[in-house]
Amino acid sequence: MAVCIAVIAKENYPLYIRSTPTENELKFHYMVHTSLDVVDEKISAMGKALVDQRELYLGLLYPTEDYKVYGYVTNSKVKFVMVVDSSNTALRDNEIRSMFRKLHNSYTDVMCNPFYNPGDRIQSRWALLPVSASSPVQVGPTSCVRSSPGGPYSCVRSSPAGPLITW
Amino acid sequence: MEKDTEVYKATVKDDLTKWQNVLKAHSSVDWLIVIVENDAKKKNKTNILPRTSIVDKIRNDFCNKQSDRCVVLSDPLKDSSRTQESWNAFLTKLRTLLLMSFTKNLGKFEDDMRTLREKRTEPGWSFCEYFMVQEELAFVFEMLQQFEDALVQYDELDALFSQYVVNFGAGDGANWLTFFCQPVKSWNGLILRKPIDMEKRESIQRREATLLDLRSYLFSRQCTLLLFLQRPWEVAQRALELLHNCVQELKLLEVSVPPGALDCWVFLSCLEVLQRIEGCCDRAQIDSNIAHTVGLWSYATEKLKSLGYLCGLVSEKGPNSEDLNRTVDLLAGLGAERPETANTAQSPYKKLKEALSSVEAFEKHYLDLSHATIEMYTSIGRIRSAKFVGKDLAEFYMRKKAPQKAEIYLQGALKNYLAEGWALPITHTRKQLAECQKHLGQIENYLQTSSLLASDHHLTEEERKHFCQEILDFASQPSDNPGHKIVLPMQSFAQLRDLHFDPSNAVVHVGGVLCIEITMYSQMPVPVHVEQIVVNVHFSIEKNNYRKTAEWLTKHKTSNGIINFPPETAPFPVSQNSLPALELYEMFERSPSDNSLNTTGIICRNVHMLLRRQESSSSLEMPSGVALEEGAHVLRCSHVTLEPGANQITFRTQAKEPGTYTLRQLCASVGSVWFVLPHIYPIVQYDVYSQEPQLHVEPLADSLLAGIPQKVKFTVTTGHYTIKNGDSLQLSNAEAMLILCQAESRAMVYSNTREQSSDAALRIQSSDKVTSISLPVAPAYHVIEFELEVLSLPSAPALGGESDMLGMAEPHRKHKDKQKTGHCMVTTDHKVSIDCPWSIYSTVIALTFSVPFRTTHALLSSGTRKYVQVCVQNLSELDFQLSDSYLVDTSDSTDLQLVPLNTQSQQPIYSKQSVFFVWELKWTEEPPPSLHCRFSVGFSPASEEQLSISLKPYTYEFKVENFFTLYNVKAEIFPPSGMEYCRTGSLCSLEVLITRLSDLLEVDKDEALTESDEHFSTKLMYEVVDNSSNWAVCGKSCGVISMPVAARATHRVHMEVMPLFAGYLPLPDVRLFKYLPHHSAHSSQLDADSWIENDSLSVDKHGDDQPDSSSLKSRGSVHSACSSEHKGLPMPRLQALPAGQVFNSSSGTQVLVIPSQDDHVLEVSVT
């Protein structure tokens, strides 16, 4: 489960930022903001790659003691940043990827809203809810980890795509 | 040779057998027998059977199935190709066999290891045991220089252990893992300087290692291998992961850790890793790979900071005893310094110990680390991270009570957050900055930050109230310097939302009251009492600008009076979002003389918005002193309490000077604190105008009709003049126009915006010359409206001329009447001179009245009986009721009677219709040569009810002259003799009988009259004309006759006429003229007059001179008759007899003409 989801505009101001332990919102704001450094770095490193071959998923931006920060950038340079609790070892790369994909889909839906001006803050409380709320754990393909306790250490392989939420 | 064989048989074979047995006993299958041959001997033995050689024997004896287990090394010490070859063969064989052996053995080892691993679910399984087994494999690989493979072993162990911890956390505990959960007692960090930390390895072997020990050992091995593999940056990356992971694992396993212990361990480890990497890389490499190491630096800084806070090294007072105890405990956990670093001055151990030893040392180390980290972050472009570390540093400085050092870091971070629009970090950093500024005593900055914070919705209500209170507290302090003002930007305090003018067109007259209502949205959490809110107004006069005249302003400025101000987009960064769109307009500048294009271009109207400074913080410019001066134009509103949210504030101002007023600045003062909105945009203006008093008089209807009461509207625009009691309009009466005084007439007073303010009765006093209308009292810039009824007396048209036979009399008008073309009504202008109280000059107003009727008269004859017909034509749009028509003879001839033949006394006359009246003239004695008549008819509008006043009748005067019939003309056509009817083409005889009906009368006395023997005669000329070409007059068609002036004198004329058509033909006209002799003196004079000019004036004069002369028309015909002789010799002149004097008794009669017999053409003419 992601503890914080952020959608950041091309100009690096937050379009949407929400964290689940709301009492520590500020920390996540700082964290997401700082992570933009790495996002920028990765984007500029990626800039040489061909556009159509570009991987939107930026991977782990940086770990902290308690959290892991992952990044994703759309072709329009809108950044998604997701903060995951480090103790949540169930979430591996594939899960993060699929969460980002879902977030991207939700964001696309928001952009399709004719009443939404691109560049405005996303006010809707529920707009990106499927990802930011507990859904990745419920819906995502991560529970397979627990189904094999004590299995081989290479056990964390998950089906790449969980059922997508349609709403 | 033989000897060799024997030796072999004797001893070597036994030895070999023994050796083989030993090998078998150890179940070793890896062996190789090497036979060293001597080259010299070999040469001789080429022919010997191979079977007999030692090699063969050995192969036979030992290598029964594995012939490759025996190799021959010939002459190993000689340098020959053969030697070389044999060496190569030997080495290849050896290598192959060795590899086979290793593969087999390692495969077996791995199988065993795997078996052991599969037993991990069994109760007695131990990770440490397994660890040792797999590490052995790693050692083998390492010894074989297979570092990659060796690393894989460690990585697998790492992953396995991690998985166990994860599973343990998920509730699936393994027994052996509980062993690792013992409390952490030692936190001396990673040791990376030794290839193998035997101490830790032994503790693992003994199953005494703690989690940190295991992790440390594992990582040290990984680090060693990675460094062998030349991958130092991976070490850094893995180290960070490891450190984070360990912290997590300890948390997950719920291992009890003394506070700060982990921080120590992490700090030491970070530094150890960094120093290890530095030890094996040169400076340039390190510099170019900062991105990999900076994480460790930052982590170390963070940990040292938390250690500092934990041990009380950051407080101002230094550590207390509790802190000291904790420090001692922490240092104890470090143990003694390792011998391998004991001689290193900068060892992590020494650093930590020193940093924890004193406040000063801590500060030094912490600052060193922080600065290094910030520098590194900055150098690789991670500005945000650098700012974040800087904020930590600022926090540290604040704790150390060094706000001056903290400020720069806070400002830097805040700028960064503002630029990128991160609201929560902005709020948090501002809060810190506020504290910093408060400590620094930067009052102005502090108040500004406080106002920003007080309006910040990300803060709690209490916090906002606190900051608001800070401002209010400061404001309420008695200032030692009374003139001193603290100027702060308005935006954070309150926002100007909209502005509303009353009157809504934002135009007010001099002295008028203008209300400006603004909506200020207070951002403060509590009601704020504001001493005054001031709007600074810029005054400008735009002279010669038609847009600024009173008329234009009051009519054309039609905005709704509400101006909305765009809300500040504060939370967004100063990117393109907050910038307004370009407002571009085309611009053409034309030459004033010939309107040709001089320049053209594009103007951006909102340059000031686009090009203003991009700093959103502290961009307040001190408002210019002029704006804050008391003498300048200001709108002021005192003692306002701004409630949180929207507030309506009303400014009321009395307009003074005419001109344009532009609102420039908005200031709200709370004590000595002034909140200033430096620019009000969009531009807000109001206009003040001054107006001269004016009087307008205009008819209510399209046109005024003469004769009936008509309403006229008086509009007095007071302008700057105030109507006082007793002020009146003095109207000098026009002679033919009455002002009807109605008791109930009222005047309405309107304000300039057309709101009715009052109405008052109008007092009108009339005297002979002057009508005085007292105006109601009205303030300046009001409009008084009232209506008056005026009556233009129907103008009596002057003497009508002698009318032609059925012709229209040309109406003669008074000289000021205007004759309009067409059938328009005759109009009369009445000029009224009005004296207004505000001016010494009279206002002259012309009112034009139209006469609704046009009247014509005609004289009708029947033999000697005479009739006068009057035709009244209604030209107006109204219907009238005519009554009491009279025709009177004004010359009072007693014997003349006018007998009306009209039956109805009341008669309606509809719009655009005519009514005819006829009177018969009767006389007993000789009729007068001329008759002056006056026609009068009463009229009133048909639709209206009874009028209050009696209207004057409409009169029409005219004169009829020479109306008495003197001659009777009778014409007759007779068919040719012997014919019953006239035929076309055949001559008929026309007999004209001219009969004198009266004796000598006054009218006959002219120059044509000749007297002989008491008999008078006059010369007449007759003429037969057939205008319709029905007849052809044969022979003479005219002739002069001498007519005796006596009753019943008759003259008969015969003529031949020929009908040209068949049918009933009207008779040809017979005209009669007076034949005047040429020698008349009068004639030459008339000619001379004609020479002058024949305009109406001269003709009139002439008419005056010649009272007995004929009318203009008759003169005109004379003129035309004699025009041919104008310049020639004097000739007799012809004068048409007036229509009334000749009666054509045969007019209208017709003669039947039948077609001639040979005429086969029948012409039908339809007219």
pLDDT digits (tens, 9 = 90+) for B198-225: 888 888 888 888 888 888 898 999 999 9
- Mark yes or no for CB contact B172/A150 under 8 Å: yes
Do A41 and A30 form a contact (C-beta atoms < 8 A)?
A: no
What is the three-class DSSP state of B865? strand
- Mark yes or no for CB contact A12/B167 under 8 Å: no
Supply the pLDDT for residue B553.
66
- Confidence band (pLDDT; 50, 70, 90) for A79? very high
| Dist CA B1085 CA A27 (whole Å) | 126
B252: which chain A residues are within 8 Å (Cβ-Cβ)?
Answer: 87
B290 and chain A in contact, CB less than 8 A? no
Tokens 């450190």 — which residue? Answer: B243
A143 and chain B in contact, CB less than 8 A? no
- Confidence band (pLDDT; 50, 70, 90) for B1130? low
**Does B809 have pLDDT greater than 60?**
no
Question: Six-digit token pair at B876?
Answer: 């107006």
Measure A138 CA to nearest chain B CA, in Å: 17
Taking only the tens place, the pLDDT of each residue in B543-561 is: 656 556 666 666 665 567 7
Query: What is the rounded average pLDDT for all residues in chain B?
Result: 78
- Mark yes or no for CB contact B573/A149 under 8 Å: no
Judging by DSSP bridges, how do beta strands B1142-1144 and B967-974 pair with one another?
parallel
**Does B1012 have pLDDT greater than 90?**
no
Supply the pLDDT for residue A135.
38
Measure B381 CA to nearest chain A CA, in Å: 8
Average pLDDT over residues B960-989: 83
A30: which chain B residues are within 8 Å (Cβ-Cβ)?
Answer: 388, 425
A48 and chain B in contact, CB less than 8 A? no
More confident residue, B1094 or A19: A19
- Which residues, other chains included, contact B364 with Cβ-Cβ below 8 Å and sequence gap of 6+? B355
Measure A11 CA to nearest chain B CA, in Å: 7
- Confidence band (pLDDT; 50, 70, 90) for A80? very high
* Lowest mean pLDDT segment, chosen from B406-415, B518-527, B960-969: B960-969
Average pLDDT over residues B252-261: 85
B383: which chain A residues are within 8 Å (Cβ-Cβ)?
Answer: 37
Which of A10, A25, A30 to mutate to test binding with chain B, by most B CBs within 10 Å of its CB? A30
| Dist CA B292 CA B480 (whole Å) | 57
Supply the pLDDT for residue A128.
57
- Confidence band (pLDDT; 50, 70, 90) for A50? low
Average pLDDT over residues A62-68: 86
Directed axis angle between helix B127-143 and helix B81-118, to 10°? 170
DSSP string, B602-639: EEETTHHHHSS-S--SS-PPPPPHHHH-SSSEEEEEEE
- Mark yes or no for CB contact B424/A26 under 8 Å: yes
**Does B1089 have pLDDT greater than 60?**
no
**Does B730 have pLDDT greater than 70?**
yes
Considering CB atoms only, which of A14, A37, A149 is closest to B383? A37
Q: Which helix (H) or strand (E) holds B233?
A: helix B232-252
* Lowest mean pLDDT segment, chosen from A11-20, B198-207, B999-1008: B999-1008
Taking only the tens place, the pLDDT of each residue in B910-935 is: 888 898 989 888 877 766 777 788 88
* Lowest mean pLDDT segment, chosen from B163-172, B872-881, B1036-1045, B1113-1122: B1113-1122
Supply the pLDDT for residue A33.
92
At B516, the amino acid letter reads I
Do B930 and B1003 form a contact (C-beta atoms < 8 A)?
A: no
Considering CB atoms only, which of A12, A25, A153 is closest to B424? A25
B353 and chain A in contact, CB less than 8 A? no
| Dist CA B219 CA B224 (whole Å) | 8
Taking only the tens place, the pLDDT of each residue in B363-380 is: 999 999 999 999 999 999
Instruction: Give the chain A residue nearest B174 (alpha carbons).
Output: A150
Percentage of the residues of chain A whose pLDDT score is greater than 90: 13
**Does B192 have pLDDT greater than 60?**
yes
Question: Six-digit token pair at B962?
Answer: 């020479």
| Dist CA B629 CA B202 (whole Å) | 87
Taking only the tens place, the pLDDT of each residue in B437-464 is: 998 988 888 988 888 888 888 888 999 9
Percentage of the residues of chain B whose pLDDT score is greater than 70: 82
Measure B448 CA to nearest chain A CA, in Å: 23
Average pLDDT over residues B862-868: 83
- Confidence band (pLDDT; 50, 70, 90) for A34? very high
Supply the pLDDT for residue A51.
56
Out of A102-111, B23-32, B470-479, B1008-1017, the most confident range is A102-111
Average pLDDT over residues A136-165: 32
Average pLDDT over residues A146-151: 35
B166 and chain A in contact, CB less than 8 A? yes
In degrees, to the nearest 5, what angle opens at C-alpha B732 toward C-alphas B731 and B734? 115
At B650, the amino acid letter reads T
- Confidence band (pLDDT; 50, 70, 90) for B174? low
Percentage of the residues of chain B whose pLDDT score is greater than 90: 7
Judging by DSSP bridges, how do beta strands B880-889 and B930-941 pair with one another?
antiparallel
A14: which chain B residues are within 8 Å (Cβ-Cβ)?
Answer: 421-423
Which chain B residues in 782-841 lie under 8 Å from chain A, judged by CB atoms? Answer: none
Q: What is the ipTM of this complex?
A: 0.79
Q: What are phi and psi of B985, to 5 degrees?
A: 85, -10
B162: which chain A residues are within 8 Å (Cβ-Cβ)?
Answer: 89, 153
**Does A132 have pLDDT greater than 80?**
no
**Does B137 have pLDDT greater than 70?**
yes
Supply the pLDDT for residue B378.
93
Supply the pLDDT for residue B383.
92
**Does B1101 have pLDDT greater than 70?**
no
More confident residue, B368 or B719: B368
Instruction: List the strands of the sheet with B988-996, edge to edge.
Output: B1031-1034, B1050-1059, B988-996, B967-974, B1142-1144
Taking only the tens place, the pLDDT of each residue in B262-317 is: 899 999 999 989 988 888 888 888 888 888 899 999 999 999 999 988 888 887 77
Supply the pLDDT for residue B810.
38
B417 and chain A in contact, CB less than 8 A? yes
Measure B422 CA to nearest chain A CA, in Å: 6
* Lowest mean pLDDT segment, chosen from A13-22, B114-123, B1070-1079, B1141-1150: B1070-1079
Supply the pLDDT for residue B394.
92
- Mark yes or no for CB contact A63/B241 under 8 Å: yes
- Mark yes or no for CB contact A29/B421 under 8 Å: no
Supply the pLDDT for residue B178.
77
B247 and chain A in contact, CB less than 8 A? yes
- Confidence band (pLDDT; 50, 70, 90) for A167? very low
* Lowest mean pLDDT segment, chosen from B413-427, B660-674, B839-853, B1087-1101: B1087-1101
More confident residue, B30 or A25: A25
Taking only the tens place, the pLDDT of each residue in B389-412 is: 999 999 999 888 888 999 999 999
Taking only the tens place, the pLDDT of each residue in B745-788 is: 788 888 776 777 788 888 888 777 788 888 888 888 888 888 88
